[in-house]
Amino acid sequence: MKYDYLDRNLALEAVRVTELAALSSSMHMGRGNEKSADQAAVNAMRQFLNNLSISGTVVIGEGERDEAPMLYIGEKVGKGGPKIDIALDPLEGTTITAEGGENALSVLAMGEEGSFLHCPDIYMQKIAYGKNYEDLSIDPNEPSADIVRKFSKYSNISIENVVVCILDRPRHRELIKNVRSTGARIKLIPDGDVSAVIATSIEDSGIDIYMGTGGSPEGVLGAAALRCLGGKIYTKLVFDNDESLERSKDMGIKDKDFIYQTNDLAKGDVMFSATGVTDGTMLKGVYFKRNFATTHSVVMRSKTSTVRYIKANHNLSKKSIIQ
């Protein structure tokens, strides 16, 4: 990066941002109110971002300007400083949090201007696999069963031992059927495809491939993490109607059939931070005991491939952390 500030200081600040969002949203864990959990995370993340000495632009956020009152695409944050592009999801897994499930995260990625794909909040087809197999090239337009077989052959993992992670959605019925026809196993998840993409590059996660259709913001955030960890993701935007296609054109999308790979989604020097809200594959969730809260976070940098895990204890009686 051009700025030492981004290299050294901003990584710690990024963790503080996701810690605060996770602490705030975790107070709503298991209470059945998705909107309250998400709003708590959004409020906390926005407040902290506005206190940073950056000139930040949200390029992947809570939605487009007319759809989200805060942290919308294009919103400016920070007190002034180096120009930074920001991709974020204050609470990745709102339903998970509201129902007390697993793998909810607060997620943030930062990079210099132009680092992240600028696209509307629409669906995106995704195929991702881990750092041990990133030299494998596939055609994502091939049948899913053929892709799984090719991965099995390349990785030297017996097909019956390959685990494919897929979001549990009605739209994935055909995908699930085709993957099962190969003999591979499937891990269905209710939400949280950022953590699922990352899990492909985490040792002992039990996930080899991620496949399916999910949100485009999650695709960009997952790519940012893989830039730091290693791994590969293929994506393609899904246009349900002419209106979504026109919105994409306004954001600079020229080829509606383009296959975006990892470096197309997150390029240059990027950093990624996540804090667990609930227990998951990668991180433990927020744990409260008396007047203290414990958070578990990870911060990564693509420039050095450094991955740091941070356990922090927060004295709630001395700090006004929870809003």
Residue 320 lies in a domain: no
Whether residue 24 lies inside any domain: the answer is yes
Q: What is the DSSP string of 56-109?
A: EEEEESSS-TTT-SSS-TT-EESSS-SEEEEEEEEEE-HHHHHHT-S--EEEEE
Q: How do beta strands 232-237 and 260-261 pair?
A: antiparallel
What is the rounded average pLDDT of the residues 114-123? 91
**Do 257 and 147 share a structural domain?**
yes
Number of residues in the chain:
323
7 pLDDT higher than 60: no
Same domain, 43 and 109: yes
Return the SS3 of 2. coil
pLDDT at 1: 41
User: What digits encode the pLDDT tens for the residues 130-184?
Assistant: 999 999 999 999 999 999 999 999 999 999 999 999 999 999 999 999 999 999 9
In this structure, of 53-67, 169-183, 224-238, 268-282, the range with the lowest mean pLDDT score is 53-67
Q: Are residues 17 and 62 in the same domain?
A: yes
Residue 286 lies inside a defined structural domain of this protein: yes
Classify residue 171 by its DSSP letter: G
Dump pLDDT digits (tens) for 72-113: 999 999 999 999 999 999 999 999 999 999 999 999 999 999
Which CATH number belongs to the domain containing residue 212 in this structure? 3.40.190.90
Give the whole-number percent of the chain exceeding pLDDT 70. Answer: 94
The reply to whether 37 falls in a domain is: yes
Residue 91: which domain range?
A: 4-115+270-315
Reported pTM:
0.93
Residue 59: inside a domain: yes
Q: Tell me: do 146 and 218 sit in the same domain.
A: yes
Residues 171 and 244 placed together within one structural domain of the fold: yes
Tell me the per-residue pLDDT of 254-299, one tens digit each, with 9 for 90 and over. 899 999 999 999 999 999 999 999 999 889 999 999 889 999 999 9
**Looking at residue 58, which CATH number applies to its domain?**
3.30.540.10
Asked if residue 323 is part of any domain, the answer here is no
187/279 same-domain check: no
Per-residue pLDDT, 317: 77
Is the residue at 321 inside a domain?
no
301/124 Cα distance (integer angstroms):
25
Cβ–Cβ < 8 Å for 54, 78:
yes
Same domain, 43 and 142: no
Mean pLDDT of the chain: 92
Residue at 322 is within a domain? no
Instruction: Give yes or no: residues 129 and 208 share one domain.
Output: yes
Number of domains making up the chain:
2
Residues 297 and 241 in one domain: no
Is residue 25 located within the same domain as residue 71? yes
- Say if residue 100 is in the same domain as residue 203: no
Instruction: State residue 2's pLDDT score.
Output: 47
Check whether 323 has a pLDDT greater than 50: no
pLDDT (0 to 100) of residue 6: 53
Instruction: Write down the pLDDT at residue 96.
Output: 94
Tell me, yes or no, whether 203 and 246 share the same domain. yes
List for the chain the helix, strand, coil content (%; round to 5).
35, 30, 40
* DSSP annotation of 160: G
pLDDT reported for residue 318: 64
Over residues 185-216, the pLDDT tens digits come to: 999 999 889 999 999 999 889 999 999 999 99
Of 191, 162, 210, nearest to 280 (Cα)?
191
* pLDDT for the residue 321: 54
24 versus 320: the higher-pLDDT residue is 24
